[in-house]
Amino acid sequence: MKVLLTGGAGYLGSTLARHLLERGHYVRVLDRLIFGDESISALFSNPRFQFVKGDIRHVEDITSAMKDVDAVIDLAAIVGVPACERNGDASIETNYWATRLLAQVAKSNGVRRFLFASTCSVYGESEGMTVTESSPTQPLSLYAKTKLESEQALLGVPNGFEPVVMRLSTLCGPSFRMRFDLVLNVMTATAYFDHEVRVFGGNQWRPLLDVRDASRAFSMILEADSGLVSHSIINVGSDDHNITIGHLGELVAKQLGDVKLTWAPNRDDSRSYRVDFGKIHEIGFDTQLSFVKSIRGVKELLQDGVVTDYKDLKYNNSGWVIPSMPA
Ligand SMILES: NC(=O)c1ccc[n+]([C@@H]2O[C@H](COP(=O)([O-])OP(=O)(O)OC[C@H]3O[C@@H](n4cnc5c(N)ncnc54)[C@H](O)[C@@H]3O)[C@@H](O)[C@H]2O)c1
């Protein structure tokens, strides 16, 4: 298939692009390169890979990127709660308006399959319950609200369009654009460099998924029969990958060794949700990578010297100021 991958230079996109190429697909990445092109420059010589520098908020950019495409995977976004709070207008433009625009351009070009990267944080607080795709949502941040509203807009597009909303777990593990604002990754980095793991709160539940397993989930849904996935919402993760932040801290400390585990109150983030992944398991997805493998993957990347300062702005989404579109 010829796939348009928006946000393909990002944390998930740069791993997913490689995975799609390995599966024999053609990949065209459309990205405005907020964090640079280091993550994908090695792919430029691949004859099945194409890069288009552009902004999904610009109709001309998406119209030309959409040419001769069979499917869209839409990852481009202002990602994370703090990044969206800091860049309110750009987040609404990118995460909501541009998603709608992209869907309209896809539909008018006859592109049916449209995979949208949403997030399990639309569930907010699940108060001890395990939430399924039909549970009530409770978005607690602008980030989650923009994603939820995009889900609704996409699922409302009638006839001749096959949107699939993929509500992703919190991702983790090594990638070609690293993020150290993700809980497993930052815990591993502080354990490695500072010999300390800091747990804020500890009882909150999170579903986690390695970015390499997430990439496999995307290719599986991309290649699945339309009747199985079209117009549906699918939680992406694994039932045995719901974990409390405290337990995760203990696991990271144990894996890295010689690490002090410190506990502090959780002031900023009241999200806590346990998620049911029965639907994606039924479609045939299972994770291959345990938490330990994700921790080891990040540790190896640090040992290899790929990252020397995990606090560098380029690894953290929240430090960036993203201009909004001129009025
Ligand atoms: N990483 C996670 O834990 C996680 C969890 C749930 C959902 N998701 C979703 O997965 C997707 C990818 O997340 P990520 O972790 O790779 O984020 P990321 O920040 O690493 O990547 C986002 C990419 O989108 C690009 N981008 C941003 N605005 C753009 C625009 N207007 N036009 C073109 N490109 C633009 C950026 O340059 C970047 O390369 C996002 O939609 C995110 O909401 C991620």
**Looking at ligand 1, which residue's alpha carbon is closest to its atom 7?**
119
Ligand 1 near 167 CB (within 6 A): no
Which atom in ligand 1 lies closest to the alpha carbon of residue 33?
Answer: 37
pLDDT at site 158:
84
Q: Is the CB of 234 under 6 A from ligand 1?
A: no
Closest CA to 206 of 179, 184, 187: 184
What is the predicted pLDDT for the residue at 269? 72
Cα–Cα nearest to 86, from 320, 327, 286, 306: 320
Q: Is residue 28 over pLDDT 90?
A: yes
Averaged pLDDT of the chain: 96
Mean pLDDT computed over 97-101: 97
CATH of 179-206+243-270+290-318, one of 3.90.25, 2.60.40, 3.30.70, 3.40.1350: 3.90.25
> How far is C-alpha 210 from the geometric centre of its chain's CA atoms?
10
Task: Give nearest CA residue, ligand 1 atom 42.
Answer: 79
pLDDT at 66: 98
pLDDT band at 164 (very low <50, low <70, confident <90, very high): very high
Kindly report the protein residue whose alpha carbon is nearest to atom 43 of ligand 1: 79
> To which CATH superfamily is domain 2-171+208-236 assigned?
NAD(P)-binding Rossmann-like Domain (3.40.50.720)
227-275 pLDDT, tens per residue? Answer: 999 999 999 999 999 999 999 999 999 999 999 999 999 877 777 889 9
User: pLDDT tens across 209-231, in order?
Assistant: 999 999 999 999 999 999 999 99
pLDDT above 90: residue 324: yes
Q: What is the pLDDT of residue 23?
A: 98
CA dihedral 126, 130, 132, 138 (to 10 degrees): 0
Rounded Cα distance between 306 and 309, Å, is: 9
* 237 pocket-lining for ligand 1 (C-beta < 6 Å): no
Q: In the prediction, which pLDDT does 271 show?
A: 76
To test ligand 1's pocket by mutation, which of 63, 79, 164, 206 has the most ligand atoms within 8 angstroms of CB?
79
In a mutational test of the pocket of ligand 1, which residue from 5, 11, 14 has the highest number of ligand atoms less than 8 Å from its CB? 11
Q: Provide the pLDDT for residue 326.
A: 76
For ligand 1, say whether the CB of 79 is within 6 Å of any of its atoms: yes
End-to-end C-alpha distance for the chain, whole angstroms: 37
- Give residue 103's pLDDT: 98
The predicted-structure confidence for 112-139, as pLDDT tens digits, reads as follows: 999 999 999 999 877 778 999 999 999 9
Distance CA 232, CA 72 (A): 16
pLDDT at 159 exceeding the cut of 90: no
Please identify, by atom number, the ligand 1 atom nearest to the C-alpha of residue 179. Answer: 20
- Note the pLDDT of residue 88: 96
- pLDDT score recorded for residue 267: 75
Look at residue 259 in the predicted model and tell me its pLDDT: 96
Q: What is the pLDDT of residue 266?
A: 84
How confident is residue 26, by pLDDT bands cut at 50, 70 and 90? very high
Of ligand 1's listed atoms, the one at least distance from the Cα of 39 is: 39
Ligand 1 centroid–CA 10 distance in Å is 6
Domain layout of the chain by residue ranges: 2-171+208-236, 179-206+243-270+290-318
DSSP strand pairing (272-275 vs 205-210): unpaired
**64 has pLDDT over 90:** yes
pLDDT at 142: 97
pTM: 0.97
